[in-house]
Amino acid sequence: MKNLIRIASRQSQLALWQSNFIADLIKKKYPQINVEVIGFKTQGDIILDQPLAEIGGKGLFIKELEQALLEDKADIAVHSMKDVPMTLADPFEICAITKRENPTDAFISNHYDNLQALPPGSIIGTSSLRRQSLIHHLYPGLKIQTLRGNLQTRLSKLDDGQYDAIILASAGLIRLGLESRIKTNMSAYDFIPAVGQGALGIEVLKENNSVIDLVDFLNNIDSRRCVEAERIISKSLAGSCTVPMGAHAIIDDNQFSMNAFVGTPDGEQMIISRGKGEVFNSQKVAHDICHDLIQQGAKEILGI
């Protein structure tokens, strides 16, 4: 067994919290192993003056961490699953998906309790095309402005009065002890989350069997089943940060349920599909939902 596990992480406070969380779990499971978290600055963290969809999408948050794995500077990389591209390069795989934190989006404002309370013309900050599409569709009188930066930077911009409200992932706020900033957790049924939102993924080199075996205990069966099913939707429809789509799955009393949507950035066109079945049929439910979305015109909306 290895006596040192090196974890590659982005350098944001949230990313480091996530990596240290995984490090603590490994140390608790294997007290004899030393664990080191190594921070890397990714292009997604450096380029903050443009919408993510315009500069390359999700891959910008993992490229440098994957390079660290290739160069043997790290043994594993920890990612938010919503930041992981649908297709990984051949040497890599996600070998574990942890128990999911709250997957919803959070409404945050210093003056209003929810989106419904915002007067027409209010400015909402978000960097997500998915959130933009949903807001335009559900609340067409609101204005949206791009919001980039780490979690603390985004909250500071709200507090400085640049926005009337912002939308962030609930999981990040909870993990950093900022749950009190959440005015409302958006309904995952109506305001469908991003694929993989709230779950952490462990990326490794496929050939590194000893490390894969070592971190297998981090896998949460239900979370992995849900996230993998959600990723079927996005992968089948060429999902990335450049198209507005979302998918959210839950398992309750051996029943698997999923909601998914595809829309245009302006929210004028939106199609939604929902399905359920036995847990062991989770991937079939996902494929059926994908087929239904295509039948409703998803590929025409997405231009694929």
Q: Is position 119 within any domain?
A: yes
Q: What is the CATH number of the domain that holds 259?
A: 3.30.160.40
Mean per-residue pLDDT for 150-157?
A: 92
Q: What is the pLDDT of residue 2?
A: 79
Contact 227, 111 (CB under 8 A): no
Contact 232, 99 (CB under 8 A): no
Least confident of 72-76, 130-134, 242-246, 300-304: 300-304
Q: Is position 63 within any domain?
A: yes
Q: What is the pLDDT of residue 39?
A: 93
219-222: Cβ within 8 A, 24+ apart: 219/96, 219/97, 219/98, 220/97, 220/98, 220/99, 220/100, 222/251
Among the listed residues 293, 170, 168, 182, the one whose alpha carbon sits nearest the alpha carbon of residue 230: 293
Q: Is residue 146 located within the same domain as residue 117?
A: yes
Provide DSSP, 97-119: EPPP---SEEEE-SS-SSGGGSP
How confident is residue 302, by pLDDT bands cut at 50, 70 and 90?
confident
Q: Is residue 208 located within the same domain as residue 63?
A: yes
Q: What is the pLDDT of residue 304?
A: 65
Q: Is residue 11 located within the same domain as residue 83?
A: yes
Q: Is position 206 within any domain?
A: yes
Distance of CA 81 to the CA centre of its chain: 5
Q: Is position 207 within any domain?
A: yes
Q: What is the pLDDT of residue 60?
A: 63
Q: Is residue 215 located within the same domain as residue 83?
A: yes
Q: Is residue 23 located within the same domain as residue 169?
A: no
Q: Is residue 8 located within the same domain as residue 91?
A: yes
Percent of the chain with pLDDT over 90: 79
Q: Is position 153 within any domain?
A: yes
Q: What is the pLDDT of residue 207?
A: 95
Domains contained in the chain, number: 3
pLDDT at 80 over 70: yes
Q: Is residue 14 located within the same domain as residue 134?
A: no
How confident is residue 62, by pLDDT bands cut at 50, 70 and 90?
confident
Q: Catalytic one among 45, 83, 105, 164?
A: 83
How confident is residue 55, by pLDDT bands cut at 50, 70 and 90?
very low
Which residue range forms the structural domain that includes residue 18? 4-99+198-219
Please give the angle made by the CA atoms of 108, 109 and 113, to the nearest 5 degrees. Answer: 90
Distance of CA 168 to the CA centre of its chain: 11
* 105 carries an active-site annotation: no
DSSP character for 14? H
Q: Is residue 156 located within the same domain as residue 214?
A: no
Q: Is residue 114 located within the same domain as residue 81?
A: no
Q: What is the CATH number of the domain that holds 18?
A: 3.40.190.10
Q: What is the pLDDT of residue 136?
A: 96
Q: Is residue 57 located within the same domain as residue 177?
A: no
More confident residue, 22 or 59: 22
Q: Is residue 49 located within the same domain as residue 28?
A: yes
